[in-house]
Structures are given as C-alpha cells and as structure tokens.
Amino acid sequence: AGTDALVRALTPADAGAGGASPGQGTLVVIAVSIVFAIGGVLIGLQEEIVGLIPVLVILATRLGYDRVTAVAMSLGAAVLGGAFSPVNPFGVGVAQKLAELPLVSGWAIRLVALSVAVAIWIAGTVRHARGAWTAAAMPAAAATDASASAVAPSLAPSLAPSLAPASAIAPSLAPRHAVVLLLVLAAFATYVVGALRLDWGFDEMSALFLVLGIVAGLAGGLRVSGTAEAYVAGFRDMVGAAVLVGVARAIYLVLEQGRIVDTIVSGLLAPIAGLPATVAALGMLVVQTIVHVPVPSTSGQAVLTIPIVTPLADLMGLSRQVAVLAYQYGAGLADLFTPTNGALMAVLAGAGVRYGQWLRFVVPLFLLAMTVAAATIVVAVAIGVR
C-alpha cells in the first residue's frame, strides 16, 4: 500500500493522456489482457498483480484510458483466465484430484469456454476503454490530482512540488520519474526470478516492495521523512479494504472451526437434490458462487465442497466432471466481485478505483461470463462429459 502510494505520487500518470489513438490503445489493451489471462490460466495469477498496479495505471492513463481499464485488463483478465482454465493447479486441479478424476480431463470443453469468455471480457474492456478515451484528458488529470492530493497535505511544504498534481507539472516524464518506473520494473523482474528459482512467497514479495518504496521515495526526492509520510498515507488508503478482508477471514474461521460451513453448504445443496439433472447442475453453479463469498479461497472451497457435491452428483446421475465445472466457474467468477477477495481489494485500492465504481463495470461482464459458464454446463450434461 505504501509503495503504491509513493509510485502514484512520484509519477505523472496523466503525462501524454489522450496522445495515443484509440486503435493503438486498443491493441495494447488486447495484448495486456491476453498476457494476464494466460497467467490466470496457468497459475491462477492474482496477488502477484498488486505490485504491478502502479505501472499498469500509468500505462492506461498515458494511453488516455481510466484506472478501471488498468484493473480490467490485468486482474480482471487473470481472474477470468483462472476461472475457465483447464489446467489451473489451484482450482480445477485440486477439484479434480478430490473428485478422483484424471488431471486435465475435460480440457476440450473447458478450452472452448475459455476462448469465448476471454473474448467477451476483452471486448467489454475495450468498449469501456474507448468510452473513457473520448474524454480522457480531464478525468485522467482529476484522478491523478486526487491521488497526489491524498498524500501531499500530510507532507512538509518543502516536499509539495514532488507530489504536486500531474496537471501542474510538465506532461513528459522527468528523469526522476523514469528512474522510479525503472525501479518498479526491476523489482517485479527480481520477484519473478525469485519466485521461479528461489521459491519466493508473499513474505519475500513484501520485503522486496518495502525496499522498493524506500528507494523510490529517496530517488524521487522525498527524503526520509517524506517517504515515511507517503507510506502512512498509502496505509491509510488500504485500511478499509484490510479491515473488510480481515473480518471476512475471521467469519470464515469461525464458520469452519465450528463446522458451520458444512451445514450451510449441505443446506444450500439439499433443495437441488430432487431436481432434473441439468437444473441441478445449474443449481450447483449458483451455490458455489454464493459459498465463495464467505470462503474466498478457491482451493479451500474445493476442499470444503467437492467431497459433498461429488456423492450428490453420483446420486443424481450427473458426472463428477460436471460437478467440478460448477465449482470451478462459480468460485472462480465470484472472485471478480466478492469483497472478501483480498487480491481484488488490494488492486482496487492500489489503482485508486472505488469498489462501487468497479462493480458498475464488472457486473454486466460477470453476468455474461456466468451465461457462458451455464451454457457450458448444460452442454456438458447433454453430451455426457466425463
């Protein structure tokens, strides 16, 4: 949170806003969305995006787009890729193992659904981005001014020029701004190498970005006191999201340790036991979506629900693959909007996007993605996918 605030304050996010043509920006949005969707497909990419948000916001606003576009083409695309993935080890992989199905089985129908869903998401993101581009100059400057002013009032007057609204400074990147961006990219590259070769986790990522924030603050001219004050301002912006995620986690622990979640899941699934197979499968999709709100972990939800839904599927004559599809799509797509998803709330806070603002964008696309999921489940039941 502190590093995000520092990078946003030290880089003129609106420099060059509106300078690119819609066609040029569209290609960038499509390319970035595909890259992050692939990350979601392969490893369920989400938390790792938090450190990239400052760069993505700058990229989006320099193309003339808004901050929602930055979140949509990164976290949104990654969540969608993970939800429809045929190979995500933390989602469908765990569920198939618990359901005693061969890993990567049913990949063909999942791949078709993935292609359709990603195409819909990218089309929706591009449509929103083009709408934002038509009036990009003023909104981008206003968003940047608000971000900078959230930090600047608490800093010493001598530091005010460093955190002045971007509209009040030269639109091109100054050398110190370029240095800050290079530091962010270097930190992310370091984390990627560490994660791949040294098995780094969230502790190492936190330490790395703490160092990044300190070095970026000093390189940007904030000095020690200004860097510390900017960190505090960044933490303040994250308090609401952190409290929400913490309370949600506490509720989940109480429900889990008290064996209440099992009762809730069983109660939600009981009404669908006597329904026709196709309707019951769609009911499973709805139940899995609801359950993901208090259980925001996809792998945790698999461990919790798959041992319950697989015997139920056997009794109703449904294939276990269909039960896994319902879990995969319900839990995965719920990550697009559930406020208990820590990665989502952290990315929104880092990008300076209000939760309500995100909901206005994501709900229509979520409903379209759920339609694709429901259609896939209906087809899977009809053709007897195993």
Stronger pLDDT, 160 or 208, i.e. the higher one: 208
Q: How many CA atoms lie within 13 A of 73 on its CB side?
A: 30
pLDDT (mean) for 316-329: 95
pLDDT score, position 65: 93
In a 10 Å sphere around its CB, with 0-12 CB exposed, 13-18 middle and 19+ buried, how is residue 35 labelled? Answer: middle
Model pLDDT for residues 94-150, shown as the tens digit of each residue: 999 999 999 999 999 999 999 999 999 999 999 999 998 765 544 444 444 454 444
Model pLDDT for residues 161-181, shown as the tens digit of each residue: 444 443 333 345 567 777 877
Residue 245: C-alpha distances to residues 33, 257, 261, 296 (Å)? 26, 18, 18, 9
Model pLDDT for residues 4-34, shown as the tens digit of each residue: 666 666 655 544 444 555 567 899 999 999 9
pLDDT band at 158, cuts 50/70/90? Answer: very low
Q: What is the mean pLDDT of the chain?
A: 82
pLDDT score, position 163: 43
- What does the buried/exposed string (b/e) look like for 62-76 if buried means 16 or more CB atoms within 10 Å of the residue's CB? bbbbbbbbbbbbbbb
* Cα angle 263-268-269, degrees, rounded to a multiple of 5: 100
pLDDT (mean) for 305-314: 92
- Helix, strand, coil fractions of the chain, as percent rounded to 5: 80, 0, 20
Residue 111: C-alpha distances to residues 44, 81, 82, 84 (Å)? 16, 10, 12, 8
Q: Which two tokens stand for residue 335?
A: 């990550």
- As for how many domains the chain has, the answer is 1
If you search the block for the tokens 């979506």, which residue do you land on? 289
Name the DSSP class of 154.
Answer: G
pTM score, two decimals? 0.78
pLDDT for residue 228 is more than 90: no
Stronger pLDDT, 3 or 132, i.e. the higher one: 132
Stronger pLDDT, 186 or 144, i.e. the higher one: 186
Model pLDDT for residues 79-95, shown as the tens digit of each residue: 999 999 999 999 999 99
pLDDT score, position 7: 66
The answer to whether 229 and 157 are in contact (CB under 8 A) is no
Greatest C-alpha distance within the chain: 72
For 152, the domain range is 2-383
Model pLDDT for residues 27-64, shown as the tens digit of each residue: 999 999 999 999 999 989 998 888 788 788 888 988 88
